[in-house]
Amino acid sequence: MTITSNLKNAVIYLRTWIKLIIILLAGLAIIGFIVFVVYKPMYSVSLNGKFIGYTEDKIKLQKKINNYLTSGDSKTVAFVEVDNYPEFDLCLLKKGLVANDDEIFKTVVGSGVPYYKYYSILDKGEEKYYVSSFEEAENIVQTLKDKKSQNQNDITYVPKYETTLKEFTDKDTVVSKLYIEMPLVKNTNVSTKKVISNSSSSLGISLIRPVSGAISSRFGSRSRGLHTGLDIATSKGTPIKAASAGTVVRARYTGSYGYMVVIAHTENVQTFYAHCSKIYVTEGQNVAQGDIIAAVGSTGNSTGPHLHLEIRVNGEARDPQYYLYNNTN
Ligand SMILES: [Zn+2]
């Protein structure tokens, strides 16, 4: 054995190995190429262990599903409660297999319980109608205020999250069903029976005179339509006192009454102070007997500064002179 022959053998040995490696690599490349041409990586999607479809873009589909589950459709569906999320398994699949992201989406969101968001229109706290959007609900309440509906302060709305969808009523229908014309001082539709009450039953509360002055129009007079209150003429700015303790249920401009304060004294008895020039109280405020609540004025349907005082029992106007101003001015 010589050094030369040893070297020769080593070279042959090495060449053989290099050839083998090249063949192996070429083989792998061919297999890889075939795989690349025939197959593609996709995600097999399953829900609760059941196969529901394939997707190529796992991130995009997951995002779409999660968005819907947490935020709904930005219309009626608020969110969807699901027991399980879908599982995604990466696999190589034959090309030509179509991804069905839409079906997967529908299956997943369809497996949950949708919570609908809508608005309930309440009359004195009782659910009356349902509308789909906040804008509609707000619009209904505002329209009734603009139209000076008698029940404008009773109509409210609340958002609802429910698993069952209610039948919606369109805005105009709700407004027309809820609207109640405000009984005006001039309104002769108010029946005489209702207005002229001969009941002298006690109100169950003590009353003091809100202002002093000359009586300019009596209850039941027909000088400017049927009169539901008592007019006491006095100068503009004269402080008006609360006739009795109670809660202010209205303190705002109210059509022909002008700036008006209404105080609820008991569940049944209310006093109205109309045509004020200024209001010093706010709705919801509690007042004591004798508190200054407003100033005399001539706002609304009025020809000169005076206090139009009404006493109502269960909404029925009573003659204030049964209780006050019955002797002198
Ligand atoms: Zn009057």
Do both 169 and 281 map to the same domain? no
Ligand 1 geometric centre to CA of 124 (Å):
28
Total domains in the chain come to 3
Residue where one domain finishes, among candidates 126, 152, 178: 178
Do both 122 and 92 map to the same domain? no
Do both 128 and 46 map to the same domain? no
Question: Do residues 293 and 245 lie in contact, with contact meaning Cβ atoms separated by under 8 Å?
Answer: no
Distance separating alpha carbons of residues 72 and 65, to the nearest angstrom: 10
Do both 217 and 129 map to the same domain? no
pTM (two decimals): 0.45
Ligand 1 geometric centre to CA of 144 (Å):
25
Do both 102 and 123 map to the same domain? no
Ligand 1 geometric centre to CA of 319 (Å):
12
Ligand 1 geometric centre to CA of 38 (Å):
92
The CATH code of the domain that includes 269 is 2.70.70.10
Name the 3-class secondary structure at 114: strand
- Host domain of residue 282: 192-322
Which of 243, 253, 250 is CA-nearest to residue 276? 253
Residues contacting residue 112 through CB under 8 Å, at least 6 positions apart = 69, 80, 81, 82, 83
Ligand 1 geometric centre to CA of 186 (Å):
9
Ligand 1 geometric centre to CA of 163 (Å):
52
Tokens representing 265?
């004294």
Q: Is 306 part of any domain?
A: yes
pLDDT over threshold 90, residue 237: yes
Ligand 1 geometric centre to CA of 105 (Å):
67
Express each pLDDT in 159-209 by its tens digit: 787 888 888 999 999 999 898 887 654 433 333 334 444 444 577 888 999
Question: Do residues 116 and 76 lie in contact, with contact meaning Cβ atoms separated by under 8 Å?
Answer: yes
H or E segment at 33? Answer: helix 3-38
Q: Is 21 part of any domain?
A: no
* Vertex 212: Cα angle to 227 and 277 (nearest 5): 70
Model confidence at 329, in pLDDT bands (50, 70, 90)? very low
Q: Is 128 part of any domain?
A: yes
Do both 154 and 211 map to the same domain? no
The larger pLDDT score, comparing residue 237 to residue 221, is at 237
Do both 253 and 275 map to the same domain? yes
Do both 77 and 100 map to the same domain? yes
Ligand 1 geometric centre to CA of 116 (Å):
49
| Phi–psi pair at 146, nearest 5 degrees | -60, -40
Q: Is 53 part of any domain?
A: yes
Ligand 1 geometric centre to CA of 207 (Å):
19
Distance separating alpha carbons of residues 46 and 44, to the nearest angstrom: 7
For residue 196, give the DSSP letter. Answer: S
Q: Is 1 part of any domain?
A: no
| Phi–psi pair at 177, nearest 5 degrees | -75, -35
Do both 142 and 48 map to the same domain? no
Ligand 1 geometric centre to CA of 125 (Å):
32
Look at the block and give the residue holding tokens 């049944």.
268
Q: Is 29 part of any domain?
A: no
Express each pLDDT in 297-328 by its tens digit: 999 998 999 999 999 988 888 889 888 887 64
Ligand 1 geometric centre to CA of 185 (Å):
7
Which of 127, 134, 222, 208 is CA-nearest to residue 171? 134
Q: Is 146 part of any domain?
A: yes
Express each pLDDT in 24-46 by its tens digit: 999 999 988 888 888 888 899 99
Express each pLDDT in 260-288 by its tens digit: 999 999 998 999 999 999 999 999 999 99
Tokens representing 325?
């101003």
Do both 172 and 238 map to the same domain? no
| Composition of the chain by helix, strand, coil, percent to 5 | 30, 35, 40
Do both 107 and 125 map to the same domain? no
Name the 3-class secondary structure at 37: helix
Name the 3-class secondary structure at 204: coil
Residue where one domain finishes, among candidates 143, 178, 213: 178
For residue 167, give the DSSP letter. Answer: P
Q: Say what the pLDDT of residue 29 is.
A: 93
pLDDT over threshold 60, residue 10: yes
Express each pLDDT in 85-136 by its tens digit: 899 999 888 887 788 899 999 999 888 888 888 889 988 888 899 998 888 9
Residue where one domain finishes, among candidates 144, 178, 212: 178
Do both 76 and 140 map to the same domain? no
